Structure formats: C-alpha cells, structure tokens
Chain A
C-alpha cells in the first residue's frame, strides 16, 4: 500500500518546455487535488477532481491543465513552463462523501530556468 505517489520528485525545465506530473493513489479515493507551495506561503489549489473523468479549477489554475482518465491517476500538465511556475507541487487525495483527512504525496520540486 503506497498511498499517494508523485512522479518525478525533482525536475528542471527550460522556459517554454512542457512536462507532465503524475499523481497515483492506491486507496480508491474519489477526490484528488493538485497544490503548489511557494516559500513563505501556504499551499494553493491549482485544480482538483471529484471523480474519474471530471476536473475543476482551483485558486491558481492558469498555465496548468489536468486530466483524470483513470480513478487512481491525476495528471498535471505544464504546456509552456515559465519561471513563475518554479515551486513545490503536492498532490493529495481523499474519500468522497465526508470532510476528512487528505493524504499527500511526497511532493515534486520543479525549477524553471
């Protein structure tokens, strides 16, 4: 039982490059979330999904796209990376139906140069 796993753990991109971050959970959770964490700030929600095939925008969605083709996977895409997207990205998941603990992945440190 791995919980929530993010791939990759670290990445350096050049401005304009694209990449996809993968979040995988093995807890059969309905809800999944992508956050970014910048120094001196709390986590900010980028996009989230309430089930397979659904996605919705969070607080800071611009410059990102997401897909939830399988229940266990939630992908975060950067089509044209910018230095402002340098951050630590966290994925989280939780059960549907009641407000309860969200389980976080270990984070992805992304640097855009």
Chain B
C-alpha cells in the first residue's frame, strides 16, 4: 500500500538556521502531496501542497517541490524562527480514488533563540 516516510526528529536548530525535513513516498500513480503543521495542543493545519510533478508549494517562507524521479517532497525554509517550533507531517493522497490521506510519522522541530 501507499506509505510516507519522514526523517526522524527531533530537529533542533538555532533561530535563522536553514531547515530541511526529508519526506519520501511510495505510491502507485501520482498522488498529491502535502505538508501539515501541528502546533502544541492544536490540530493539524495545512502548510502547503503540490498536486503534480515539479510543482512547488510554498507558504510562510516554507517550500517543497514535488520530485517524481526521487519520489520526494522535502520541506525547506531558509531562516527559521522560534515560532516555527511544531511537529511537521508529510502526507500523500491515497486510497480508492485517492480520496484519503496517508501521513508520515511526523518530525518535531524545536527552534532555539
């Protein structure tokens, strides 16, 4: 079945450091890809998405590019802030008709001042 693999955390960075969180997927066909973020005590919220190969999703300084050849959707940000501390989930559309989402295990990011 479909699966999503993320790099294990936690990731600890200093403020203004460069962030990369790796994500790869296994799926038949071409799923849509998503990054969700979960702040402490809250539900998940969509950060960005890409629906086809070579698409780049971007939001709040974060970006990720859909790479079909490497089946990857790595999340990057050039300069992280303390307020970016959260858990980040990579997800791919899945199931019959791709009507559901398969999530990775999540990567906790902690940004220190």
Whether A and B are associated in the same complex: the answer reads: no
Residues of chain A touching chain B, judged by Cβ–Cβ distance below 8 Å, are none
Chain B positions within 8 Å of A, measured between CB atoms, are none
